[in-house]
């Protein structure tokens, strides 16, 4: 009997899944090498003897994904080395707020009404830019060999993705920097901040900036970079978290997700459906 079970393409790939795909293996490996080089350049860890570990040594895992534009086109192959934070022991606060879509719509309405300039920024390896409050030890990552004798492990000096406290550490790191730069958080959503003639809204490592003058945006980007934040400017606030924004002549804003719609249509075998 032929199975009628339908499978969808995963959003994320494990190491085994990525390496099984011969056509894309070299792209995934290139992405993994860039990830390791970037983490080492940032001084994310020290290699030490396992006897130095004061807590449980956590395993790590590779996570691979294709980053796509709102139209569904592949923009880059991305590899992320993560910690098995679900195995982390201890009692600590892990809560980190994220912006609600109602707040994003408010940001869009305000910047459009005021005819402000906008800019999208992406913080590179955001979690690594924050320092954990307590030392964390992890096993050597896959495909990483030590030249030192004995049993080796890694002591983290920076946060890594999926570390239990990483989202909160990053949020506090960015939030405190913005407050020091004169921003005030909205009482309705702590991920919307404002100062004279400026707004900033952020969802983890993606942010949108709105300002009366372009120079205000340029100055803020420079201020963040001077404080050690690594970020990439991605043009105007025309897409955010996979949603594309189109300004119409009547002043309204259209929100579309063509890439997601196409993915759903393909996964349900409805490409030829005309209804």
Domain spans of the chain, in order of start: 15-267
The helix/strand/coil state of 57 is: coil
Decide if 85 contacts 164 (C-beta within 8 A): yes
Decide if 67 contacts 75 (C-beta within 8 A): yes
What is the C-alpha to C-alpha distance for residues 103 and 107, in angstroms, rounded to an integer? 6
Over the stretch 52-79, which tens digit does the pLDDT of each residue have? Answer: 999 999 998 888 888 777 667 777 888 8
DSSP letter string, 181-209: TT-EE-SS-TTEEEETTEEEEEETTEEEE
Over the stretch 6-23, which tens digit does the pLDDT of each residue have? Answer: 344 556 778 888 877 777
Q: Using the Cα atoms of residue 188, residue 194, residue 198 and residue 204 in order, give the sign of their dihedral.
A: negative
Over the stretch 171-195, which tens digit does the pLDDT of each residue have? Answer: 999 999 999 999 999 999 999 999 9
pLDDT (0 to 100) of residue 187: 92
Q: At residue 4, does pLDDT exceed 50?
A: no
Q: Is this structure's pTM higher than 0.85?
A: no
pLDDT (0 to 100) of residue 144: 67
Which of 62-76, 125-139, 164-178, 256-270 is the most confident on average? 164-178
């Amino acid at each position: 009997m032929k199975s009628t079970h339908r499978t969808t393409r995963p959003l994320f790939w494990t190491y085994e899944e990525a390496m099984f795909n011969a056509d894309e293996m070299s792209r995934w490996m290139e992405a993994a090498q860039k990830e390791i080089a970037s983490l080492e350049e940032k001084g994310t860890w020290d290699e030490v003897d396992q006897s130095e570990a004061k807590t449980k040594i956590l395993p790590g895992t590779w996570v691979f994904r294709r980053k796509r534009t709102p139209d569904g086109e592949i923009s880059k192959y991305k590899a992320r080395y993560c910690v098995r934070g679900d195995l982390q022991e201890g009692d600590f606060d892990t809560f980190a707020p994220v912006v609600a879509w109602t707040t994003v719509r408010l940001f869009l309405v305000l910047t459009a009404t005021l005819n402000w300039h906008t800019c999208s920024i992406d913080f590179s390896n955001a979690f690594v830019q924050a320092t954990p409050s307590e030392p964390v030890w992890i096993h050597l990552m896959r495909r990483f060999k030590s030249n030192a004798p004995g049993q080796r492990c890694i002591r983290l000096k920076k946060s890594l993705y999926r570390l239990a406290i990483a989202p909160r550490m990053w949020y506090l790191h960015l939030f405190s920097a913005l407050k020091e730069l004169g921003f005030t958080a909205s009482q309705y959503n702590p991920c919307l901040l404002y100062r004279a003639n400026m707004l900033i809204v952020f969802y983890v490592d993606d942010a949108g900036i709105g300002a009366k003058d372009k120079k205000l945006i340029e100055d803020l980007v420079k201020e963040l970079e001077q404080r050690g934040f690594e970020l990439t400017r991605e043009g105007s606030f025309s897409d955010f978290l996979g949603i594309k924004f189109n300004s119409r002549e009547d002043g309204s804003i259209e929100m579309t997700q063509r890439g997601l719609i196409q993915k759903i249509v393909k996964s349900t075998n409805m490409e030829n459906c005309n209804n």
